[in-house]
Amino acid sequence: MNDLTALERRLASRAIDLAARALLALPFGISAFGKVLDFPSAVAEQAHFGLPFPAALAGLTVAVQAGGAALLFWNRFAWLGAGLLAGFTFAATMVAHRYWTEADPVARFHAFNTFWEHAAIAGGLILTAVTAARLRAGALK
């Protein structure tokens, strides 16, 4: 006998799975597309944060965002795509939202909230990677 509730069955549906993967992947895909369309600004963004080799890092950012989003969205090695995006999000958050360095209280408040919002996104991506790996291994039904 199947002991899933109606809500659990709906949550386990392919449509919900696709919608969730799209919501996680699309912001990264859109960001990568924008960087490709305006690569000089993508390089300037890296330089703004004082990162070395800004052009190479901008190219790597595009590759990770586009590749991770595609793997996650198309559910091909979704664990890898979600893991790449989680790592990228964590690294970018540590560089761009360093609330502990902000002297201005309003800027610190904004950076603090953005930091933790991005931490939550990274956590959701990690959970997605773990779940996808378990599904692939047959550990979840």
pLDDT of 102-133, one tens digit each? 999 999 999 999 999 999 999 999 999 998 88
Domain that holds residue 81: 6-137
Dist. CA 66–CA 79, nearest whole Å: 15
Residue 81 domain-assigned? yes
What value does the mean pLDDT take over residues 45-59? Answer: 97
Residue 1 domain-assigned? no
- Give which of 11, 8, 20, 9 is closest to 82, Cα–Cα: 20
Residue 52 has pLDDT above 80, yes or no: yes
Residue 112 domain-assigned? yes
Residue 21 domain-assigned? yes
pTM, to two decimals: 0.88
Residue 100 domain-assigned? yes
Count of structural domains, the chain? 1
Residue 91 domain-assigned? yes
Dist. CA 141–CA 129, nearest whole Å: 16
What value does the mean pLDDT take over residues 21-25? Answer: 95
Dist. CA 140–CA 31, nearest whole Å: 32
